[in-house]
Amino acid sequence: MNTTIDLNVDRNSNIALSRQIFIKISSLILKGILKAGQRLPSSRSLAEQLKVSRNVIVDALDQLAAEGFLESRKGSGTFIADGISIHLEDKPELVEFEKIGFEDVRTDITDFRSGLPDMNFFPRHIWIQLTREIYSNQAFDPLSYHQPEGALSLRKEIASYICSRRGGKCSEQQIVITSGTTQAISLVSRLLLTAKRHLVWLEDPITYDIQRIIKNNGGTIKGVEVEENGIAVPRSTVSGSFLYATPSHQFPTGVSMNVQKRTSLLEFAADNNIYIVEDDYDSEFRFDGPPMSCMQGLDPDKIIYIGTFSKTLCPAFRIGYLILPYNLVNRGRQQKWFTDLHSPIPNQLVLAEFIRRGHYTRHLTKMRKIYKTRRLHLETMLKQEFGQSVEILGSQTGIHLCARFKGRTFNSELLFKIEQTGCKVYPVERHTLNTKKYNDTIILGYGCLDTSEIEYGVHALGKVLL
Ligand SMILES: Cc1ncc(COP(=O)(O)O)c(C=O)c1O
Q: Tens digit of pLDDT for each residue in 281-319?
A: 999 999 888 899 999 999 999 999 999 999 999 999 999
- Average pLDDT of the chain, as a whole number: 94
Per-position DSSP letters for 423-434, written without gaps between them? EE-EEGGGG-SS
Q: What's the pLDDT band for 101 if we cut at 50, 70, 90?
A: confident
Query: What is the model's pLDDT at position 97?
Result: 82
d(CA 296, CA 162): 10
Query: What is the model's pLDDT at position 376?
Result: 96
Q: What's the pLDDT band for 154 if we cut at 50, 70, 90?
A: very high
Minimum CA distance residue for ligand 1 atom 6: 181
Task: Report the separation in Å between the CA atom of 111 and the middle of ligand 1, taken as the mean of its atom positions.
Answer: 18
The mean pLDDT of 357-365, rounded to a whole number, is: 97
Q: Is the C-beta atom of 251 inside 6 A of ligand 1?
A: yes
To test the pocket of ligand 1, the residue of 181, 213, 226, 250 to mutate (highest count of ligand atoms within 8 Å of its CB) is 181
Residue 251 has pLDDT above 60, yes or no: yes
Task: Report the separation in Å between the CA atom of 309 and the middle of ligand 1, taken as the mean of its atom positions.
Answer: 10
**In the chain, % of residues over pLDDT 70:** 98
The mean pLDDT of 185-208, rounded to a whole number, is: 96
Gyration radius of the chain's alpha carbons = 30
With the CA atoms of 214, 311, 254 and 245 taken in that order, what torsion angle do they form, in degrees rounded to the nearest 10?
30
Task: Report the separation in Å between the CA atom of 171 and the middle of ligand 1, taken as the mean of its atom positions.
Answer: 24
Task: Report the separation in Å between the CA atom of 281 and the middle of ligand 1, taken as the mean of its atom positions.
Answer: 6
Indicate which atom in ligand 1 lies nearest the CA of residue 184.
10
Q: Is the C-beta atom of 114 inside 6 A of ligand 1?
A: no
Q: Is the C-beta atom of 315 inside 6 A of ligand 1?
A: yes
Residue 61 has pLDDT above 90, yes or no: yes
Residue 2 has pLDDT above 60, yes or no: no
Give the global pTM: 0.91
Burial of 2 (0-12, 13-18, 19+ CB in 10 A): exposed
The DSSP bridge partners found for residue 403 are 392, 442
What type of residue sits at position 3? Answer: T
CB of 167 within 8 A of CB of 293? Answer: yes
Q: Is the C-beta atom of 41 inside 6 A of ligand 1?
A: no
Q: Are strands 199-204 and 242-245 parallel, antiparallel or unpaired?
A: parallel
Q: Is the C-beta atom of 317 inside 6 A of ligand 1?
A: no
How far from chain centre, in Å, is Cα 432?
A: 21
d(CA 448, CA 370): 10
Task: Report the separation in Å between the CA atom of 307 and the middle of ligand 1, taken as the mean of its atom positions.
Answer: 9
The mean pLDDT of 77-97, rounded to a whole number, is: 82
The mean pLDDT of 1-7, rounded to a whole number, is: 73
Minimum CA distance residue for ligand 1 atom 2: 281
Query: What is the model's pLDDT at position 281?
Result: 94
Per-position DSSP letters for 67-101, written without gaps between them? TTSEEEETTTEEEEPSS---------SSPPPPP-S
Residue 1 has pLDDT above 70, yes or no: no
Task: Report the separation in Å between the CA atom of 182 and the middle of ligand 1, taken as the mean of its atom positions.
Answer: 7
Task: Report the separation in Å between the CA atom of 311 and the middle of ligand 1, taken as the mean of its atom positions.
Answer: 8
Q: Which is nearest to 348 in space by CA: 176, 232, 209?
A: 176
Task: Report the separation in Å between the CA atom of 214 and the middle of ligand 1, taken as the mean of its atom positions.
Answer: 13
pLDDT tens digit string along 364-417? 999 999 999 999 999 999 999 999 999 999 888 999 999 999 999 999 999 999
Indicate which atom in ligand 1 lies nearest the CA of residue 251.
1
